[in-house]
Structure 1
């Protein structure tokens, strides 16, 4: 049922996808007793408390400062620097309970609160880091929810990228383009996939891949990864199917030769 709820939520026009609900349906896979309404109510309550503190003038910078003060000073939300790859950082219920997370999940909390304040914001999926910005033309400012809601300008975003990669990085214009709700969910899931693969938790990684393929059906690289996990788990028929499909979609892929050899070995 959890996966079905997730599927129904993401298969509607992107602007209508409830990011909090979809994130919580995903978390329900890991926490079956999770009460979705409890966490939606928590976001409602946070937004209501911020609303009561907002100045009369609807000035974007003032709104951001009010959200920041409440979330990061009063409630103590912060980026998890001690255990960045803890899977709990990717589940919205845990982020709300523990008040810590990674850039993308803290951004989801921020986006959902902003939405409830009728102050629309959008996600910006930079390589290696995730930030948000107000959703109006020429906003010119960005918010880094992982760093206490720090307000960034365009040149700061390039600086942040260089900090992430620890080398000079040129800020390409498309790095700052807004991402869709589907892309945000896909990025959360991809983080989880790599955490589980690195921890050799193959059954969990497989479940996460099922969710990714609900959002991006027939995505070649996700099919390949699922096929390789099936192979590792000894499910050769399913592995052959996924890996064969991968080669049909990307016959000239860099690893095509290796995958063909693997298929021959199974057949």
Structure 2
């Protein structure tokens, strides 16, 4: 399975949003319909909202109000991941999404209005950073709220439960590879949650196009293959993971599972 648009993300040859659109097209034949409607709504907003005449933070505040109120986007109401809230075309269709997906949509909306929002790879879910007049403002994509530095630090400490030291370099923009790996992992886990295992397997192949031979993705491929009743293929993936990551907590469980699969069963008559 080939995904050429994912093989060169280290060089950032394509805009991230275009790659995310391509991911949605793999799973939904009507994806372009919702992508087109999103840009149409942004064009209508540009014509009628007066946003184009604003600048700086005032423009950012007006844009977030329009995104969450006029366009009606909101955080997904379900406590569990669902692919209809992660895949970006479904989030457009339903007007609700996970914070990461909303961050990508808001970032693209800002770009449409001449504002540069950088995605920050943050614990729990990403934030968006806007730099203006030697100040940085941070947008919470779950709500559109603007945060300043102290609020961001407090959020980091809450998300990590004090287990990780905060530093300002954690607020640097994430590169395309980090963004796509994190997004595709959300897609993968959402599809597994939906029990769409064949689609989840496709997502693992996408991740392996970016991270060839990654033992954790290969382990997840083994799990999905097992769910698809392909144990004979899953064995190789589990074995690879155990060899590459022998000290991982899940490796011991997989060793026992592999032993059970390969040990002949006694048949009682």
TM-score of the superposed pair, with normalisation by structure 1: 0.81
Structure 1 position 21 matched with structure 2 position 18: yes
Structure 1 position 157 matched with structure 2 position 152: yes
Aligned to 1:246: 241
- Output the CA distance in 2 between the equivalents of 1:240 and 1:82: 34
Deviation per CA, 1:152-211: give whole Å up to 9, x if none.
11221233346657x566662254232122322222222232233345443333222222
> Alpha carbons of 1:129 and 1:44: their partners in 2 closer, same or farther (altered >3 Å)?
same
Task: Return the offset for 1:40.
Answer: 4.7
Which structure carries more relative contact order (alpha carbon 8 Å, separation 6+)? Answer: 2
Aligned to 1:7: 4
- Output the CA distance in 2 between the equivalents of 1:71 and 1:14: 31
Unaligned runs of at least 5 residues, structure 2? 263-269
> Alpha carbons of 1:224 and 1:138: their partners in 2 closer, same or farther (altered >3 Å)?
farther
Task: Return the offset for 1:108.
Answer: 0.5
Aligned to 2:265: none
Task: Return the offset for 1:22.
Answer: 1.8
RMSD: 3.1
> Alpha carbons of 1:229 and 1:137: their partners in 2 closer, same or farther (altered >3 Å)?
farther
| 8 Å Cα contact 1:50-1:67 kept in structure 2 | no
2:72 is paired with a residue of what secondary structure?
Answer: coil
Task: Return the offset for 1:144.
Answer: 1.0
Question: Which is greater in Rg?
Answer: 2
Deviates more, 1:134-143 or 1:234-243: 134-143
> Alpha carbons of 1:137 and 1:56: their partners in 2 closer, same or farther (altered >3 Å)?
closer
- Output the CA distance in 2 between the equivalents of 1:237 and 1:136: 56
Aligned to 2:45: 49
Equivalent of 2:183, from 188, 202, 218?
Answer: 188
Aligned to 1:87: 83
1:173-212 pair list within 5 angstroms? 173=167, 174-212=169-207
Unaligned runs of at least 5 residues, structure 1? none
- Output the CA distance in 2 between the equivalents of 1:44 and 1:134: 24
2:128 is paired with a residue of what secondary structure?
Answer: strand
- Output the CA distance in 2 between the equivalents of 1:126 and 1:89: 19
2:142 is paired with a residue of what secondary structure?
Answer: helix
- Output the CA distance in 2 between the equivalents of 1:117 and 1:204: 34
Equivalent of 1:73, from 43, 55, 69?
Answer: 69
| 8 Å Cα contact 1:54-1:66 kept in structure 2 | yes
- How many residue pairs get aligned? The number is 260
Aligned to 1:172: 166
